[in-house]
Structure 1
Amino acid sequence: MRRLCTGLGAALFVLSAQAADPYADHNGILPPGYRGPTFKLSYRYPANLPAPAMPWRSAIGGQPISIYNAPGYVAALKDAVARDMRDLLHDCGCWNAEQRGWYNDIWLGAEREAIHGLSVAIGSVDTSLFPRTRLAKPFTTYTVTYYNRIAAQTLGKIWNRSALAPNLDPAATQYAEGSITVKLAFTTADASVWPAMEGALAWQAMVSANATTGQPDQPSLQRLRLLQVDVVVKDTQSAPDTGWVFATFVYDRNAREGSYGIWDKMVPLGAQWGNDPLVNSTHNADAPLRESWINPYAPRYAFETLGWGGRLSGPNDHGRNDISFVAGQSRRLVQNAPNTACLSCHGSSQWNTSNPAMGMASFIMPLAPSASGAGAPYLNSPAPGSSEWMRWFQNRRGFVPMDQGSVGGDFDLALTFRVLPAWFAATSGQRHALQGLDKSGKKIAQ
Structure 2
Amino acid sequence: MRVCVKALTLIWMLLGILAIAPRPAHAACDVPENSTLDKAASILFNCSSTMDLTSLPPGEKEFVANFSFPKTLPPVETPWRGIAFRVEPERYLRTLLAYGLKDNVPIDWRVEKGSQSWCHAPWFQDIRERIHGMTRERGSRLFELSEHQRSRAENWAIGFYNGVGCYGLGQVWADPARPKTKGFVFPPNTFAIKLLFTTAPISRVPYLTGSKTWNAAIGEHGSVKEMRLLQVDVAVKDPAAGALTGWIFGTFMYDAYAPGDDIWSKLVPVGLMWGNDPELTAKKYQEDGGAVQESWVNPAVAARFFPLPRHHLGLFGRLNGPVDNFNSACLACHARALDWGRGVPSEGPLFDEMNVLLPFAINPSDEEALRNYFRNREPTEPFVADTQSLDYSLQLAGGIFRFRGWVDMNFSAQAAETRDVPPYKFKEEKSGNAGAAPSKILPPTQDRSYVGPSPFSRGD
TM-score normalised by structure 1 residue count: 0.76
Cα distance, 1:429 vs. partner? 2.3
Is the strand fraction higher in 1 or 2?
Answer: 1
What is the CA deviation profile of residues 48-87 of structure 1, one whole-angstrom value per residue up to 9, with x for unaligned ones? 2255332212222xxxx32x32122112212222323432
> Aligned partners of 1:197 and 1:291: how far apart in 2?
29
> Aligned partners of 2:167 and 2:364: how far apart in 1?
40
> Aligned partners of 2:391 and 2:256: how far apart in 1?
34
Residues 105, 439 of structure 1: alpha-carbon distance in 2 compared, 3 angstrom cutoff: closer
Is the helix fraction higher in 1 or 2?
Answer: 2
Show the counterpart of 1:289. 292
2:186 matched to 1:168? no
Structure 2's unaligned 5+ residue stretches are 1-29, 411-448
Counterpart of 2:228 in 1: which secondary structure?
Answer: strand
Show the counterpart of 1:274. 275
Counterpart of 2:105 in 1: which secondary structure?
Answer: helix
2:63 matched to 1:39? yes
Cα distance, 1:396 vs. partner? 1.2
Counterpart of 2:53 in 1: which secondary structure?
Answer: coil
Structure 1's unaligned 5+ residue stretches are 8-16, 209-216, 320-338, 372-378
Cα distance, 1:407 vs. partner? 1.0
What is the CA deviation profile of residues 392-438 of structure 1, one whole-angstrom value per residue up to 9, with x for unaligned ones? 1111111111222111110001222x211221232222756542668
Show the counterpart of 1:427. 407
Show the counterpart of 1:155. 169
> Aligned partners of 1:301 and 1:293: how far apart in 2?
16
> Aligned partners of 2:190 and 2:119: how far apart in 1?
12
What is the CA deviation profile of residues 375-395 of structure 1, one whole-angstrom value per residue up to 9, with x for unaligned ones? xxxx99556242123111111
Residues 220, 296 of structure 1: alpha-carbon distance in 2 compared, 3 angstrom cutoff: same
2:392 matched to 1:411? yes
Letter in 1 for 2:296: W
The answer to whether the Cα contact below 8 Å between 1:424 and 1:432 also exists between their aligned partners in 2 is no
Q: Which protein has the larger Cα radius of gyration, Structure 1 or Structure 2?
A: 2
1:45-124 alignment to 2 at 5 Å? 45-60=69-84, 65-66=85-86, 68-88=87-107, 91-92=108-109, 96-99=112-115, 101-122=117-138, 124=139
Corresponding pairs, count: 379
> Aligned partners of 1:55 and 1:81: how far apart in 2?
11
Show the counterpart of 2:44. 21
2:335 matched to 1:312? no
Residues 126, 2 of structure 1: alpha-carbon distance in 2 compared, 3 angstrom cutoff: same
Residues 302, 152 of structure 1: alpha-carbon distance in 2 compared, 3 angstrom cutoff: farther
Counterpart of 1:76 in 2: which secondary structure?
Answer: helix
The answer to whether the Cα contact below 8 Å between 1:248 and 1:268 also exists between their aligned partners in 2 is yes
Residues 282, 306 of structure 1: alpha-carbon distance in 2 compared, 3 angstrom cutoff: farther
Show the counterpart of 2:333. 345
What is the CA deviation profile of residues 251-306 of structure 1, one whole-angstrom value per residue up to 9, with x for unaligned ones? 01112333xx3111111100111001232244433212111101123386555551
2:255 matched to 1:252? yes
> Aligned partners of 1:318 and 1:426: how far apart in 2?
29
> Aligned partners of 2:357 and 2:207: how far apart in 1?
38
The answer to whether the Cα contact below 8 Å between 2:49 and 2:125 also exists between their aligned partners in 1 is yes
> Aligned partners of 2:223 and 2:136: how far apart in 1?
14
Show the counterpart of 1:184. 195
The answer to whether the Cα contact below 8 Å between 2:189 and 2:238 also exists between their aligned partners in 1 is yes
What is the CA deviation profile of residues 4-62 of structure 1, one whole-angstrom value per residue up to 9, with x for unaligned ones? 6799xxxxxxxxx99971111112533346663221110010132255332212222xx
Q: CA RMSD in A?
A: 3.2
Cα distance, 1:109 vs. partner? 1.1
The answer to whether the Cα contact below 8 Å between 1:85 and 1:263 also exists between their aligned partners in 2 is no
1:354-373 alignment to 2 at 5 Å? 355-357=342-344
The answer to whether the Cα contact below 8 Å between 2:281 and 2:370 also exists between their aligned partners in 1 is no
Residues 298, 50 of structure 1: alpha-carbon distance in 2 compared, 3 angstrom cutoff: same
> Aligned partners of 1:369 and 1:50: how far apart in 2?
37
The answer to whether the Cα contact below 8 Å between 2:66 and 2:119 also exists between their aligned partners in 1 is yes
> Aligned partners of 1:41 and 1:104: how far apart in 2?
6
Residues 135, 299 of structure 1: alpha-carbon distance in 2 compared, 3 angstrom cutoff: farther
> Aligned partners of 2:368 and 2:104: how far apart in 1?
41
Residues 273, 440 of structure 1: alpha-carbon distance in 2 compared, 3 angstrom cutoff: closer
> Aligned partners of 1:343 and 1:370: how far apart in 2?
14
Cα distance, 1:219 vs. partner? 2.2
Show the counterpart of 2:27. none
What is the CA deviation profile of residues 180-211 of structure 1, one whole-angstrom value per residue up to 9, with x for unaligned ones? 01111000112023212111111111112xxx
